[in-house]
Structure 1
Amino acid sequence: MDKLEILLKAAPKITREKNLNNLIEILSNLAKDMIEVDRCSLFIIDEQKKELYTIFAHGVNEIRIPMNSGIAGHVAKTGKTYVTENAYRSKFFNKEVDKILGYKTRNLLAVPIFDSKGKVIGVYQAVNKSSKFKSSDIKLMKLIAEFAAAAIENMMLYEKIKELHKKSLIKLSKAAEYKDPEPPNHFIRIGFISRLVAEKLGLDEEKCEILLLASTMHDIGKIGIPDRILKKSGRLEPDEWEIMKKHPIIGYELLYDEESELFQIAAIIALEHHERWDGKGYPFGKKETEISLWARIVSIVDNFDTLITEKDEGEPWSLDMAVNYMEAMKEKAFDPEIVNIFLGNMDKVIEIWEKYKD
């Protein structure tokens, strides 16, 4: 396959790919084939640890080196392209990396990766070309580095926003704990057990992590319920119950943010976690798969945890009683498939429950 064919074949993949790791792999394979080298590696600067680490490297897992180490460190520091046709004669080359990897670097091309403000955020390397590196190789490597830079910068911005959202959710969760009479670790258990169930359902890692955070906010709407109702011991009067049933809508309105997937999922869980499989729940009487998967998971986990947790107004249920109740409520209150997965992993559920017991 000639170089034009390689480029034409890679172009649609590059434009369609949304996942950063997949995109970097596509770009690295493109560089490897176009420049005709043995391998490529992309280092990112870790400012906190003062290190360079690979987010992709052909033939090896993650490599971490001090920020000022080796040719990558030199390029990161100077922001200038570096080429050596004899790596072991370069004063910047770190022979220890080769020793650790069991590899022999002969020649190497390294180009800096710049963000939109001109700051170096990483280094792209092409290693072991059978002939000498040409000026066209350097131009191509710089072009590929520009593609990588845009993707990496977007990822970094996304991670910062996501971290801000996480911190906001945690603060809201703490606020809810002061208001809600639930045991203090109830929300933590809901998060970790919900994540477990999501993993067993086959959801991807990112969605499982989102559910871990979002599920802890299922009762945030209780902030808007008067204490005289929320903390009342004994049965609520009909008018009080109608007020209590508003907390899912209050929670949804508090949490929903059209620009944040995390807050969107948290809002949906808050809104729907009291809906039932048979349509007899509230606030809207949704049934079966009209209820989001997120809320169907959290509803099961929340109810089970409430049953087996010690409360001021009564003794907790035994594990056997709670398991029997969950079985009996399949296709009534709960999604039967999720109940089966939940009960099928009871050993792990109890392990989490014991770890975060009040």
Structure 2
Amino acid sequence: MSRQRVQVIDDNAINLALFQALLGKLPDCDAVVFADAHAGLAWAQAQRPDLIVLDYMMPGLDGVQLLQALRQTPGCEDLPVLMITADADKDTRYRALDAGATDFLTKPVDRVEFSARARNLLALSRARRALLHHADRLAAEVREATAELRLRELETVLRLSRAAEFRDPETGAHILRMAHYAQLIGRHLGLNGDDLDLLLHAAPLHDIGKVGIPDHILLKPGKLTPEEFEVMKQHARHGYDILKDSSSAYLRAGADIAHGHHEKFDGSGYPQGLAGEAIPLFSRIVAVADVFDALTSQRPYKPAWPLDRAQAFIREASGQHFDPACVDAFLGDWPGVLAIRERFADDDAALAPQLAGLLGKV
């Protein structure tokens, strides 16, 4: 059992010697004495002893004033305090109680009663500290369990994202680039850390609905007929239906992104024809990120566009296809865009560890 510290604050040297001697007889107890109230307060705030024996009447800073200052100190709100006073008046005790005193003794102090009260308060302090340590252990266990659940959740997100790839000519690098482009846009729009994390990991789910599109349409090398394009457009609704109503915040965000990333700012998009801010913000962000990467990536059915041509297209479509704020955020950090493009080049073997990195902070 660890030793406990009792602080005594009293301007009377005889009282200090008495209390120190009585405390010295208690098992596993060390007494620290202070004749100066200000010095005693500073030590208590810094050291947080197991018990404070505090005289009520002291010059400069009386016991109630000291106690009030102590209770305003973080971590000292519940320290046991035994108030010693020669004044048995109820008003005095009421003041001390309001200030946060735990127990009282009046002078002249009965030695047996002092030892018994000090022992009881030290037992209270030990129980309090044990409870705090138990709470800390429980909090640590909860954090560990939550981290494990989050890892499994992100693994599900990644596997769903990769599932769409197996039925689509897009590469794993596309997932990484567009997710990081989306995060870049979100950062410049002022999203907080949790939302940026959510966006990074939900953005790859934007095309999950393509698992419901027939191969002869999804993999067609040439231009789709109007009828085929109507079928292709259904992937936005399919993605939403797959992910909606999930208990996972990542999958719910992915549902909104899948549903809305083909909406256009002027209302001419699909599947709902939403316009402006009626389109979820994450969907407006992913629209810019997805289109830019699609334009600048080579596919079996098209060559990659030069960067300046894709940049001009995004700028010209601001206010029609894209949210102008998202366009400004994206094009306003062109060095960041180029860094992402360079970091996640089309090399699936080299990118495997970075795809796995979507399971944590990338």
**CA separation of 1:244 and 1:136: change in aligned 2, threshold 3 A:** same
- Give the TM-score normalised by structure 1: 0.62
Q: Which residue of 1 aligns with 2:192?
A: 204
| Offset at residue 2 of structure 1 (A) | 7.2
Letter in 2 for 1:292: P
Q: Which residue of 2 aligns with 1:184?
A: 172
Q: Which residue of 1 aligns with 2:342?
A: 354
Tell whether the 8 Å contact from 1:272 to 1:295 is kept in structure 2 after alignment. yes
The SS at the match of 1:209 is helix
Tell whether the 8 Å contact from 1:278 to 1:332 is kept in structure 2 after alignment. yes
Letter in 1 for 2:285: I
- CA–CA distance in 1 between the matches of 2:139 and 2:240? 33
1:31 paired with 2:53, answer no
**Structure showing the higher helix proportion among its residues:** 2
1:175 paired with 2:163, answer yes
Tell whether the 8 Å contact from 1:279 to 1:287 is kept in structure 2 after alignment. yes
Which of 148, 154, 165 in structure 2 is aligned with 1:166? 154
User: Which digits, 9 at most, give the CA deviation of each residue in 1:37-91, with x for residues without a partner?
Assistant: xxxxxxxxxxxxxxxxxxxxxxxxxxxxxxxxxxxxxxxxxxxxxxxxxxxxxxx
**CA separation of 1:143 and 1:4: change in aligned 2, threshold 3 A:** farther
| Offset at residue 261 of structure 1 (A) | 0.7
- CA–CA distance in 1 between the matches of 2:66 and 2:192? 37
1:277 paired with 2:321, answer no
Q: Which residue of 2 aligns with 1:296?
A: 284
- CA–CA distance in 2 between the matches of 1:284 and 1:343? 27
Moved more, 141-150 or 336-345: 141-150
1:226 paired with 2:214, answer yes
Letter in 1 for 2:319: E
- CA–CA distance in 2 between the matches of 1:225 and 1:174? 16
Q: Which residue of 1 aligns with 2:227?
A: 239
Tell whether the 8 Å contact from 1:6 to 1:34 is kept in structure 2 after alignment. no
**CA separation of 1:30 and 1:142: change in aligned 2, threshold 3 A:** farther
Q: Which residue of 1 aligns with 2:256?
A: 268
Which of 298, 302, 306 in structure 2 is aligned with 1:314? 302
Letter in 2 for 1:243: V
1:287 paired with 2:269, answer no
- Two-structure CA RMSD over aligned residues (Å): 2.4
**CA separation of 1:144 and 1:243: change in aligned 2, threshold 3 A:** same
**CA separation of 1:309 and 1:3: change in aligned 2, threshold 3 A:** farther
| Offset at residue 143 of structure 1 (A) | 3.1
Number of positions where the alignment pairs a residue of Structure 1 with one of Structure 2: 242
Point out where structure 2 has 5 or more consecutive residues left out of the alignment. Answer: 1-64, 81-120, 347-362
Which of 297, 315, 326 in structure 1 is aligned with 2:314? 326
The SS at the match of 2:166 is helix
1:340 paired with 2:336, answer no
| Higher relative contact order (CA closer than 8 Å, sequence separation 6+) | 2
- CA–CA distance in 1 between the matches of 2:308 and 2:185? 20
- CA–CA distance in 2 between the matches of 1:6 and 1:279? 61
- Give the TM-score normalised by structure 2: 0.62
| Offset at residue 33 of structure 1 (A) | 5.0
How do residues 81-230 of structure 1 correspond to structure 2 at under 5 angstroms? 134-230=122-218
Letter in 2 for 1:312: P
| Offset at residue 226 of structure 1 (A) | 0.4
**CA separation of 1:2 and 1:238: change in aligned 2, threshold 3 A:** farther
- CA–CA distance in 2 between the matches of 1:153 and 1:30? 24
- CA–CA distance in 2 between the matches of 1:270 and 1:142? 49
Q: Percent identity?
A: 33
Tell whether the 8 Å contact from 2:267 to 2:273 is kept in structure 1 after alignment. yes
- CA–CA distance in 2 between the matches of 1:4 and 1:144? 23
- CA–CA distance in 1 between the matches of 2:195 and 2:172? 25
**CA separation of 1:172 and 1:320: change in aligned 2, threshold 3 A:** same
The SS at the match of 2:172 is coil
- CA–CA distance in 2 between the matches of 1:296 and 1:183? 22
- CA–CA distance in 2 between the matches of 1:140 and 1:5? 21
- CA–CA distance in 2 between the matches of 1:203 and 1:159? 22
How do residues 34-49 of structure 1 correspond to structure 2 at under 5 angstroms? 34-35=78-79
Tell whether the 8 Å contact from 1:188 to 1:356 is kept in structure 2 after alignment. yes
User: Which digits, 9 at most, give the CA deviation of each residue in 1:271-328, with x for residues without a partner?
Assistant: 1100111111100011111111111111000011111112222222221111111111
Point out where structure 1 has 5 or more consecutive residues left out of the alignment. Answer: 10-28, 37-132
1:259 paired with 2:303, answer no
Structure of greater Rg:
2
| Offset at residue 239 of structure 1 (A) | 1.7
- CA–CA distance in 1 between the matches of 2:265 and 2:138? 45
